[in-house]
């Protein structure tokens, strides 16, 4: 088991797939990292020597925001939106979709999975005969 950025990585996987479980490191970032360090894409993580793994660990820590720091930064941005009272902040505050999605029929997980199938609202009074 190899540990980078606080995550235990599967050493049997190829390097390009083994690094993606790190939050903040995606496929494109992996491609840039491996090209910068001259590591082949198809080599397995267990086949790398200790110097290369340390170099990889150092490069990721210096050049990318990962894991806890990334989560902290995202939460601070959302809190800033809420504090200034912008539209996105209000949507976050009300736990509604933020990026323009329709809410009439979708967004069930956010709004609650309540579906009314029959007529809703106040019941009609019985008619006088």
Rounded (10°) CA dihedral 121, 101, 113, 76: -120
Q: Is the pTM above the cut of 0.75?
A: no
We report the CATH number of the domain holding residue 44 as 1.10.8.50
In a domain, 118, yes or no: no
User: pLDDT by residue for the chain (129 residues), tens digit each?
Assistant: 889 888 899 989 999 999 999 999 999 999 999 999 999 999 999 999 999 999 999 999 999 999 999 999 999 999 999 999 999 999 999 988 899 888 877 777 777 777 776 666 667 778 876
Other C-beta atoms lying within 10 Å of the C-beta of residue 46: 14
Please say which residue of 40, 64, 88 terminates a domain: 64
- Of the candidates 118, 3, 114, 104, the residue with the CA atom closest to the CA atom of residue 54: 3
Q: Which domain covers residue 44, as residue numbers? A: 2-64
């Amino acid at each position: 088991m190899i540990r980078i950025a606080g995550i235990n990585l599967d050493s049997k996987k190829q390097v390009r797939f083994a690094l993606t479980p790190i939050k903040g490191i995606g496929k494109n970032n992996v491609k840039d990292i491996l090209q910068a360090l001259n590591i082949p894409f198809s080599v397995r993580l267990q086949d790398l020597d200790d110097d290369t793994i340390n170099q990889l660990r150092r490069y990721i820590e210096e050049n990318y925001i990962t894991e806890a720091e990334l989560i902290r930064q995202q939460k601070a941005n959302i809190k800033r939106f809420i504090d200034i009272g912008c539209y996105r902040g209000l949507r976050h505050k009300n736990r509604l979709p933020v990026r323009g999605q329709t809410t009439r029929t979708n967004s069930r997980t956010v709004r609650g999975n309540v579906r009314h199938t029959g007529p809703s609202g106040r019941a009609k009074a019985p008619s006088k005969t």
